[in-house]
Amino acid sequence: VRKTKSISVVRKAVAVARKSDAKIGFVPTMGALHEGHLSLVKRAKKECGFVVVSIFVNPLQFGPNEDLEKYPRDLNRDERLLKSVGADLVFYPDVSDMYAPDRSTTVSESCVSKGLCGDARPGHFNGVTTVVAKLFNIVQPDNAYFGKKDYQQLQVISRMVRDLDIPVRVVPCAIVRESDGLAMSSRNIYLSSDDRLTAPILFRALKAAKAAVEAKKVTTAKDVVVGITKLIVGSGLSPVIDYIAVKDAVSLTDLRMLKGTMVIAIAVFFGATRLIDNIEVTVP
């Protein structure tokens, strides 16, 4: 697999691939890759002749008290994994390749990015939209692949692409989980062994909530939130709940009565580690 830090090398490689009529697929990541990331690359390979993967720990999307410094980085391992799934080009710019010291333009979405992680992480989604807009301009892909693991991010990017007429098809991809149901995340390695054993409660609670909605045992968003809260609080290690919410699946607006297709999203702290998960559900 070819790798480069250079924007112009990416542009040239993509231009060559395009000349031979290849569809360009793009998977943006922050590295520390796992099967979740690789599933996106495999999907991109299936649908596109030339697949670019970016690895960039974007400082703009980290808050002052977040884990930017200690975010896991292992480029050699990432490269090996990307080679094994057939990625064509790895773009791993330095911060100085991406951001001029006097940069003064940002992209900001002001609706879908409110609530959920937007409230818990002020400024986070402006960092995400800004870097993804830049990466789209650098790679100019036909298709870009995003995991539903970061559900709000997926919907914020979709809204940005629509609102700014960016000629990219955003492809949502299913969440990849460990065998016990924990959603794969680069941050799972921070969990203590006790917390790691408790963490699958998140997906168990989401599945129980989905089943209750589908069986019409609950009718309001509040019922769902209360049910999930009970399961998580009863799970022993008393994780600190950041949010549990039921939202419209696309606009992420609040719902009182359950209606249409929704997403149930949760964020919970296990010690200093914040885990997120979600599940889509449609009222029958």
Which residues are at the interface with ligand AMP (CB under 6 A)? 29-30, 36-37, 39-40, 146-147, 149-150, 173, 175-176, 183-186
Nearer to ligand AMP, 190 or 227 (CB): 190
Question: Do the bridges between strand 143-147 and strand 24-29 make them parallel or antiparallel, or are there none, so unpaired?
Answer: parallel
Judge whether 37 counts as a catalytic residue: yes
- On whether the CB atoms of residues 141 and 24 are closer than 8 A, the answer is yes
Helices then strands (H, E): number in the chain? 10, 9
- What is the C-alpha separation between 38 and 195, in angstroms, rounded? 25
- How many whole angstroms from its chain centre is CA 177? 14
Q: Are 3 and 92 in contact (CB under 8 A)?
A: yes
Amino acid 128 reads V
Tell me how far apart the alpha carbons of residues 14 and 129 are, in angstroms, rounded to a whole number.
22
For ligand AMP, which residue has the nearest CB? 147
Q: Which of 187, 212, 201 is nearest to 239 (CA)?
A: 201
- Shortest distance (Å) from residue 99 CB to ligand AMP: 17
Strands annotated E in 143-239: 143-147, 169-173
Smallest gap from Cβ 15 to ligand AMP, in A, equals: 25
| Catalytic residue chosen out of the listed positions 25, 37, 146, 160 | 37
CB of 122 to ligand AMP, least distance (A): 18
Decide whether 191 or 258 has the Cβ nearer to ligand AMP. Answer: 191
Q: Are 98 and 158 in contact (CB under 8 A)?
A: no
- CB of residue 98 vs ligand AMP: minimum separation in angstroms? 15
Cβ closest to ligand AMP, residue 44 vs residue 281 = 44
Nearer to ligand AMP, 33 or 225 (CB): 33
Residues marked active site are found at 37
